[in-house]
Amino acid sequence: MSNRANYEAFYRRSITDREGFWREQAALIDWHQPFDSVLDYNRPPFAKWFVNGLTNICYNAIDRHLAARGEQAAVIWVSTEVDRVEEISYRQLYQRVNAMASLLVEMGITKGDRVLIYLPMIPEAIIAMYACTRIGAVHSVVFGGFASGALASRIDDAAPKLIITADAGMRGGKVTDYKSLLRDGLAAITVEAPKVLVINRHLTTTPCPLPGEVDFAEAVVRHVGKEVPPVWVESSHPSYILYTSGTTGRPKGVQRDTGGYAVAMRASMRHIYGVEPGDVMFTGSDVGWVVGHSYIVYAPLLTGATTILYEGLPIRPDPGVWWSLVAKYHAKCMFTSPTAIRLLKKTGVEWIRKYDLSCLRTLFLAGEPLDKETHRWVSEALHGSVVDNYWQTETGWPILTNFAGLGLLDLKFGSPTVPAYGYETLLMDEHTGEKVGANAKGSLMIKPPLPPGCMTTVWGDDARFVETYFSRFKELYYATFDYAMVDDDGYYFIMGRDDDVINVAGHRLGTREVEEALCTHPSVAEAAAVGIKDDLKGQEIEAFVVLMSNVVPPSEDELKNVVVRQIGGIAKPKFLHIVTALPKTRSGKVIRRAILAIAEGRDPGDLPTIEDAKTLDIIRDAVHLR
Ligand code: ATP
Ligand code: MG
């Protein structure tokens, strides 16, 4: 059977025999008590997977592998910030997770309690996450780069009993004082103050004692060698809370279950990522993002594979550092973001060519549009398969992807290929909600129930779950809020966010179409396009372009004409500005709503997840020069 026919059959069965399909996938993990039924969908859109099954993620990710692979590395930690490498075997990880779990129990943490984890990319981040899931506590990991405001709102939302933090993190050799950020965050909270457990790395010279803090190294000594039996939880028991990036509005607290997530993670490694026990996976992301949760922490260990945890920048000490890790540890699968690859692209192909990367079977990229040029460049540089996969914090694993495990389908640059098994995707006209056919654009929707592993609700707010995601049109469909097109072969193309769609004199353009066109100019590094109000045409396009380093700036007309040549006169930007940076979230996504607000002379409002607020002034200055 061809790979395409194989995929079609696999996909079709996941939709037409949903329960049979997922019952088979559920056998990929261990159940302490078997589930009564595969799916309870009596209360749409709330889906419960593997009803009344009892399991534990930590048990499945660690204990289960001890007999066969106790001495195999579970985690390889590489820090180019503090120049350290640590290989942690499954047995050692078991011991360290148990010691921390025992300490958490002593500190009064029990099933259902929330624990906020605010840590840099160190082994204790993984250990803390598993210590929580071992005892049924619900973790909420907050990205280490977030400042006090974002921290405070997440503490208020989850009301954790405990916060696990470090004295400091390092990025590019610069120390970030976590404790002082936490102190300011705690000063702003409205809920009861949580206990604080500190992993002291001795990186800061400015001590910042927090009231009642517990020093991890001192406290854990009494727990070394202790074993804490895994707490068997119902499949629907929450495993964690994680917030979306906040690109389009206030971040949403995604709640994930236990059984469905564990099954989805293990199944995705088999069918999508093509990773099996004993393989090595390197995910260049952060444990604070969904890609880190799923593909640094949970999926690799649920599989019995080895995960590489990297603390540092991808270009330091040199731009070959990631490839050196792939070669050294024989990573079979690598996963990172298009932004990271674009950064490496600027430094030249020789950094990739320097290493023997024959071990690397597939590179996966997700998080934002992967422009055709970058897709082509990295595929050629690696002489290999590069898979664009499209998903969201909400889903926890790919919605649209190609399949290294099942057998790769032909790749098309610019497309994240086809729907993953379990996702019944369709496009609807963003205004009328009518279904659209091949080669027409529309909002990407998913017919519920959402498959296992996806969010089960918004933390503490069932109503917001229904209102936010299931009220886009009159049917109870899940809205991704992305704008897409499907071609005649059933391949999807993501064109941007659906509320950013630009309508010029009746022609609907996704922001990505304009941005991608601009990016084909050899001097352009990145671009953002927005549709500003225009009395005559409805909307006009205003574009902002960041150039590659060390290039002679092209004229604005030259850049506008690139768009005309690629798309047509209709897409010609009315205004185009060359700027030094774009406003982005901490997770690297362009905040177009802020750009649009400034371009239309409005206040961009509260942007708690913005990486650098100074970029707003850059946009303001550019707009003033119109
Ligand atoms: P918020 O929902 O809070 O506004 P966000 O949508 O940026 O923030 P994430 O869950 O981190 O939060 O990002 C998911 C979004 O990222 C997707 O909805 C999509 O817009 C974009 N995205 C992810 N992967 C891809 C991809 N492969 N191609 C194009 N866009 C992608
Ligand atoms: Mg989103």
Asked whether the predicted pLDDT for residue 204 surpasses 90, the reply is no
Burial class (CB in 10 A: 0-12, 13-18, 19+), 212: exposed
Pick the atom of ligand 1 nearest to 289's CA.
11
In the predicted model, is pLDDT for residue 207 greater than 90? no
CA distance 96 to 98: 5
- Tell me the residues surrounding ligand 2 (ion) with CB < 5 Å: 244
Residue 295 has pLDDT above 90, yes or no: yes
> What is the DSSP code string of 387-439?
EE-B--TTTSS-SEE--TTT-PPPP-TT---EEPTT-EEEEE-TTT--B--TT
Q: Which residues line ligand 1 (CB under 6 A)?
A: 244-249, 251-252, 366-370, 388-393, 416, 480, 482, 494, 497, 587, 589
- Structure tokens belonging to residue 470: 């299931």
16 alpha carbon – ligand 1 mean position (Å): 28
- Which of 482, 483, 526, 592 has most ligand 1 atoms within 8 Å of CB, for mutation? 482
pLDDT at 137: 99
pLDDT, tens digit (0-9, with 9 covering 90-100), for 433-470 = 999 999 999 999 999 999 999 999 999 999 999 999 99
- CA 33 to ligand 2 center in whole angstroms: 35
Terminal-to-terminal C-alpha distance of the chain = 58
Which ligand has an atom closest to residue 246 CA?
A: 1
HSE-CB for 362 with a 13 A CA cutoff: 22
Confidence of residue 626 (pLDDT cuts 50, 70, 90): confident
Q: Whose CA is nearest to atom 28 of ligand 1?
A: 369
Q: What is the pLDDT of residue 546?
A: 96
Length of the chain counted residue by residue: 626
Ligand 1 atom with least separation from CA of 587: 11
Over residues 329-334, mean pLDDT: 98
Cα distances from 294 to residues 59, 115, 369, in angstroms, run 16, 18, 20
Q: Do 532 and 539 touch, CB atoms closer than 8 A?
A: yes
Q: Return d(Cα 171, Cα 123) in angstroms, integer.
A: 16
Q: What per-residue confidence (pLDDT) applies to 594?
A: 97
Could you read off the pLDDT of 551-575 as tens digits, one per residue?
A: 999 999 999 999 999 999 999 999 9
Helix residue ranges, H only, 188-268: 216-220, 259-268
- Mean pLDDT score across all residues of the chain: 97
Average pLDDT over residues 22-50: 98
pLDDT for res 296: 98
Residue 553: CB atoms within 10 Å: 11
Above 90 in pLDDT, residue 608?
no
Question: Taking 90 as the threshold, does the pLDDT of residue 205 lie above it?
Answer: no
How many C-beta atoms lie closer than 10 Å to residue 250's C-beta?
13
Atom of ligand 1 nearest to the CA of 416: 27
> Measured in angstroms, how far is the CA atom of residue 157 from the centroid of ligand 2?
18
